[in-house]
Amino acid sequence: MKEPSVQRNGNFLLVPYRPRRRVLMLGLLFCVVAGVGGLGYWYGMSRAVLDDDYVRALVRRDRANESQIAALRSQLVDAELARAVDQQATESLRETIATLRREIAELRDEAGLYRNMLDPGNAGQGLRIADFELSATRDAGRYRYHVLLTRVDPVGEVARGRVAIDVSGISASGRQSRPIALALDELAELEEYPIPFRFRYFQGVAGVLELPSDFEPEAVRVRLLASEGRSEVLRKEFAWSLDQR
């Protein structure tokens, strides 16, 4: 059957009525729209799934990085602490070694001194003023003194007597300066003076003396006196010199 043609009649356009074709076109349009919508929805969902997986992966990586950074920070703190402890231990060890070396040197010196003093072949026999030492204290004008007395005697008899110590120097009191000698009992608090001694081989006499502010010391004179009376047995003079050890 031949379809009627389109006719024009004045201002109107006559179109043949085809209801089946219209329904077919609407159905086809609906299918296209549905297909495009479904494709868009599927693509959107797939992208959403991909984005969620990517975000989760980034979160996991961030957490792993934070854990690694925390571990590295802890290792750094431990390393810095260990280095500080090592430095302190090294410095303390160096100071200890230096102190021990000084003490060993002092002990060797003292041992050599005593060995020489007690060896009859080196200095002969008899009573001796072996050594005199001075060292400063924390208080200005106050000094520690130490006198070492020895005796070399094959029989080993006991030596008895008294020690007198005088400090000679210049006194600047007033407008004039004059040389004077000050006895130890004028410079220190002593229970008895001259100081008694009694020993077989050696003995040390030590204490603290205080000089007047207007006195400039120059020398120290040590005298050994007999146990009875004040007759002088031995005398030795030392320059005023502070021990720097």
- CA 194 distance to own-chain centroid: 48
Q: What's the confidence (pLDDT) of residue 245?
A: 57
Write out the two tokens for 168. 């000679």
Give me the phi and psi of 193, to 5 degrees please.
-145, 135
- CA 209 distance to own-chain centroid: 36
Spatial CA neighbour of 201 closest among 113, 133, 103: 113
Q: For the chain, which residues make up each domain, given as ranges?
A: 19-118, 125-239
Q: What's the confidence (pLDDT) of residue 230?
A: 65
Cβ partners under 8 Å of residue 150, min gap 6: 114, 117, 118, 127, 128, 130, 201, 202
Q: What's the confidence (pLDDT) of residue 219?
A: 94
pTM of the model as a whole: 0.51
Q: What's the confidence (pLDDT) of residue 94?
A: 80
HEC readout, the chain: CCCCCCEEECCEEECCCCHHHHHHHHHHHHHHHHHHHHHHHHHHHHHHHHHHHHHHHHHHHHHHHHHHHHHHHHHHHHHHHHHHHHHHHHHHHHHHHHHHHHHHHHHHHHHHHHHHHHCHHHHCCEEEEEEEEEEECCCCCEEEEEEEEEEECCCCCCEEEEEEEEEEEEECCCCCCEEEEEEHHHHCCCCCCCEEEEECCEEEEEEEEECCCCEEEEEEEEEEECCCCCCEEEEEEEECCCCCC
Which amino acid belongs to residue 197?
F
Q: What is the C-alpha radius of gyration for the chain, rounded to an integer number of angstroms?
A: 55
Spatial CA neighbour of 241 closest among 134, 91, 102: 134
Q: Is the dihedral of CA 226, 230, 231, 232 positive or negative?
A: positive
CATH topology of domain 125-239: Immunoglobulin-like (2.60.40)
Q: What's the confidence (pLDDT) of residue 238?
A: 93
Q: Is the dihedral of CA 170, 174, 176, 182 positive or negative?
A: negative
Low-confidence ranges of the chain (pLDDT < 50): 1-3, 5-7, 122-124
